[in-house]
Chain A
Amino acid sequence: MIQKIKSVAFFLFLLLVMGSFQKKEMDSTLIIQFRAYVHGSPLELNKKYLNPFGEAFEVTRFRFYTGKIAPAYIDASLKAKITSPYHLIDFSDSNSTRIELPVAAGNCHGIQLQIGVDSIDQSRGAQTGALDPAKGMFWTWNSGYINFKIEGNSPLSTQPSHLFEYHIGGYRNDNNTVWKIKLFSTNDESFLITKENKVVIEVGLDLDYLFDGPTPLRIRETSSCMMPGELARKISENFIGTFTGLTISPNP
């Protein structure tokens, strides 16, 4: 009899354990949409803008790496499982700016994400997918990924064809340009992710802050940065400042 109770109890315990595993299953979907802005209006490539220093510029290419994205759950016991691979966000390709992420259900107040490719993933050898060196985001003579690339032209650039080019990367010690950031909703609202309720999060990047950041970046003075170093690190800090919080909407 006692044996029987024991086995039933064990069975119940097993069910409980399995149930708790079920809860953490990544059966829900989080959709993240990246959008770039200048002065609050959506960035259009090859269109003339003025930066906060009054410098005219056009953007021809704008790409960056992100990865290790996960919801920030309000319930601290719900540790986010980070399985998200790297994504190359390219504003000339609208398919690349939207990411669908399998996540566990839960009440969230933001997301965490990494901008750039961290040191572990920088030195794994030949890779495919977003990290394929054929994507043109890999430095061949100083191995490493360009974490973010913005190119364009400006009459104030002293370079040939008035180009400005910021190829920002570097992962070694003081030259690290990889950031882990947490973004919260702009109006401090929480949002519930469930199996039925796909949530769309818009992550906005405001290019004004790329120039008007902790280190003022004037095209007249600095029209190019093409290798890891102190300048790249400073520009990466400005770039992180362009991420301006989340706008949350239910699935359209």
Chain B
Amino acid sequence: MKSLAVITFIGFCAVMWINVPFPFIIPKGFPPPVYRFQNNARTKEGFELGRKLFYDGILSKDGNIPCSSCHQQFAAFATYEHRLSHGFNDHLGFRNAPGLFNLAWERELHWDGGINHIEVQPLAPLVDPHEMAEDLNTVIGKLKKDKTYPVLFKQVFGSPGINSQRILRALAQFTASLVSADAKYDKVKRGDSHFNQYEQKGYEIFQLKCSRCHQEPLFTDLSYRNTGIEVDSTLKDYGRMRITGRKEDSLKFQVPSLRNVFLTFPYAHDGRFATISEVLEHYNSGIIQSPTLDSGLRKGIPISSDDRFYLIYFLETLTDSSFIRNPLYSDPALHGEMAKPVEDSH
């Protein structure tokens, strides 16, 4: 009876051309999200439009650099195995492309927190000459001339017209929907699975040595910290200071989530660490003292080789294979087939 009512309701929506509501489910144990699709009610059609845009090179100058070129689903939407990503005309980007998941919980985005709202984030890669190298008004013009987009925009927003707000809101419907909360860790927390003894031991070491910054359940506290790294002499990236202009923020970067950490290598804002072991060794013995160094890292974090062994077991439980295989998030042009890592396509 209940299902009949649902079917009737959806049928009614379809007949009346009303977009089907598409509720956003907050994973159990997660805090309330920052982005709640305010003024941008989440609908299946809106999500699908955002997904299509995310995978479409039309947003880039030469048509070859969609968002998904640097944010690959099989790498939890980071760039697989690249320190820096390739953009327009083979330019190298400025920073390591972060994985995209649980963005609805981020008040500020990017390594330096320079983006103050998820809806305006796509503007940064879109106009960056090293990334998509495009002009916003040109993109609007291209989408208006396209065969399918004008129809889709009308369907999603209820009236004809394509403008920057509609493009950005559709993209946010997709990106804010990328939720990763179904790793083995989550199954254990829900009581559906158990850590083996190595994972359990790794979890205890994690809680003792890492969770001050990589707080559960997001595995980041989203703060900005200098983790004892030196500035790269070619990139000259001082992180948060670039945004605030304050000396106190020199070399501080937003704490990245450790969810899917096995998939998002290389690590750090410029991809300087190739492996998890290198990162752990950095905390153990590689901290560089500087005035803005995080107060908890003055003496480093002692991580023995035993600790490292168990920690790696635990960190693997943060890989969410149902997220990277979810056909809802994949390239719509692949019709449910998943993209796989290929030998360096760039």
Contact = CB atoms under 8 A, between A and B. Distances in A.
A134 B243 contact: no
Contacts of A83: none
B124 A172 contact: no
A134 B245 CA distance: 26
A122 B119 contact: no
A133 B164 contact: yes
A236 to B, nearest CB: 14
Interface in A96-148: 122-128, 132-134, 138, 140-144
Interface stretch (B96-104, B165-173, B203-211): B165-173
B52 interface: no
A121 to B, nearest CB: 11
A229 B245 contact: yes
Interface in B70-127: 110, 114-120, 123-124, 126-127
B196 interface: no
Contacts of A245: none
B164 A134 contact: yes
Interface in B107-157: 110, 114-120, 123-124, 126-128, 136-137, 140
B163 interface: yes
B244 A126 contact: no
B246 to A, nearest CB: 8
Contact of B137 (A123, A126, A134, A138): A134
Contact of B163 (A128, A140, A141, A230): A128
Contact of B127 (A127, A140, A175): A140
Given A126-B165, A140-B126, A143-B115, A133 B120 contact: yes
A172 B123 CA distance: 20
Contacts of B110: 141
B44 interface: no
A123 B120 CA distance: 9
Contacts of A172: 244
Interface in B228-255: 242-245
Nearest to B246: A174
A78 interface: no
A123 B244 CA distance: 16
Interface in A210-242: 227-230
A118 to B, nearest CB: 13
Main DSSP-derived SS at the B contact region: helix
A41 B242 CA distance: 40
Interface residues of A, number: 22
13 contacts: A125-B172, A128-B164, A128-B165, A133-B123, A134-B140, A134-B163, A134-B164, A138-B123, A141-B110, A141-B124, A141-B128, A142-B242, A227-B245
Contacts of A133: 120, 123, 136, 164
Contacts of B114: 141-143
Contacts of B244: 172, 175
B126 A126 contact: no
B24 to A, nearest CB: 16
A172 B114 CA distance: 11
A126 B120 contact: yes
Contact of A125 (B128, B137, B168): B168
A140 B122 CA distance: 8
Contacts of A122: 116
B120 A125 contact: yes
A125 B242 contact: no
A143 B120 CA distance: 7
A126 B119 contact: yes
A127 B128 contact: no
Interface in B157-185: 163-165, 168-169, 172
Going nearest first, the 8 A-B pairs with the smallest beta carbon separation are A125-B119, A126-B168, A229-B245, A143-B116, A140-B123, A126-B119, A123-B116, A125-B117
User: Which one of A122, A125, A127, A228 has the greatest number of beta carbons of chain B within 10 Å?
Assistant: A125
A70 to B, nearest CB: 25
Given A133-B136, A140-B123, A140-B124, A127 B165 contact: yes
Contacts of B120: 125-126, 133, 138, 140, 143
B124 to A, nearest CB: 4
A231 to B, nearest CB: 9
Contacts of B140: 134
A122 B124 CA distance: 16
Contacts of A132: 163-165
Contacts of A227: 245
Contacts of A124: 117
Contacts of B117: 123-126, 143
B227 to A, nearest CB: 22
Nearest to B136: A134
A228 B123 CA distance: 18
A126 B171 CA distance: 11
A122 B115 CA distance: 11
Given A125-B118, A126-B164, A143-B114, 11 more contacts: A123-B116, A125-B169, A126-B117, A126-B165, A128-B164, A134-B136, A134-B164, A138-B123, A143-B116, A143-B117, A230-B245
